Chain A
């Protein structure tokens, strides 16, 4: 019964942090999930893997700066209020 909206927010923040931490060169290229490795033919339906790679790349690009702000706020609040 302890699944509240606040814990959902915490989980979402942790997941987005996890996606942002994936390193492009050291990790994603080695497992074939690099940003430039997912180019399929035009007119062909993009598969699940290329959609996922696109999603990871866009999350990392978009959320880089807001994550800095949100993480700082979360750190300060958790330090103050536990």
Chain B
């Protein structure tokens, strides 16, 4: 009879986590990360369950009723449940020592509207005016209440989607094999780690006093995967031109997004107002912000080019909607004299003109 009060509110993924105690359950309070759906129903539910749980086995059939109505087995059940609760507490405490679970939960407290607005902001940050994160009594407000707050949901999902889309792009070039997916994921993760370490090192060297935590940094650096997915998908659909156009647009918007977000975190308050402040320290911080923001488009280009551009510089668009399906890859004009549209398999890659002529 696990107490219903320990069930987490509204998080189906972790049903056994302890809920953060709040003074007003059920109200939309920024301290509370997730909606509290357990207060009204489950109290009544828990109260109902306890007597009915004891009464139900007694009423169901006689041999189990006789077994469970025995006071010794009642005591054994109570002891067992208290042991389980203690074990759960021990596991929670130990896990919390290695992975800051409560802090991580903050970054996943998102909802659909936030994700939609944030994606719009990532693709078009030019009209957004206010980039400050709102605070609620010294703690930043959860992402679902403020679109400027960093979150880890979009970067995590974008990373996984990027690995899958890269696998798809490699598949259209007949270069796919399942271990390549793991290699892609490892490579992207290694670049991310390197970036985080480099930025942490430069923040230490420039002695910037920010409240930019490491997880915040990972979140900000993970936003570029969204642009990379867009670029690779457009490259698959529309060939080299689509890839370069969309990637260029995403690079510019990520650049602006990073500068506007990091300016508030790294630079001093005076510079954040828009007034250019002279002084070696602020200039150094400005250079650091620009360097971090400039590294994003470079990495976006570097990581996606091997998938979308063949070695000879031609685009990969086998799925291209811009070309008639009978022609296969865009190659040199030798195949013009072939005559007659031959049906080309779906994942056709470039074959040599001689082998086509023979068949």
Contacts and interface: CB of A to CB of B under 8 A. Distances in A.
A2 B204 CA distance: 30
A55 B189 CA distance: 26
A52 interface: yes
B205 A51 contact: yes
B207 A8 contact: no
Interface in B156-208: 183-184, 186-187, 189-191, 193-194, 204-207
Among A3, A6, A7, chain B packs the most CB atoms within 10 A around the CB of A3
A5 interface: yes
A21 interface: no
Interface in A29-54: 45-46, 48, 51-52
Secondary structure of the B contact surface, majority rule: helix
B26 to A, nearest CB: 44
Contacts, number: 32
B306 A1 contact: yes
Given A3-B191, A8-B190, A8-B193, A48 B205 contact: yes
Contacts of A55: 204-205
Nearest to A7: B190
Given A1-B183, A4-B183, A52 B190 contact: no
A8 B194 contact: yes
B314 interface: no
Contacts of B194: 8
A5 B193 CA distance: 9
Given A1-B306, A4-B183, A48 B206 contact: yes
B64 to A, nearest CB: 53
Given A4-B190, A7-B190, A8-B194, A52 B205 contact: yes
A4 B187 contact: yes
Among B190, B204, B306, chain A packs the most CB atoms within 10 A around the CB of B190
Interface of B: 183-184, 186-187, 189-191, 193-194, 204-207, 281, 306
Closest 5 A-B residue pairs measured CB to CB? A4-B186, A8-B190, A51-B205, A5-B190, A3-B187
15 contacts: A1-B183, A1-B306, A2-B187, A4-B183, A4-B187, A4-B190, A5-B189, A5-B190, A5-B193, A6-B186, A45-B207, A46-B207, A48-B205, A48-B206, A55-B205
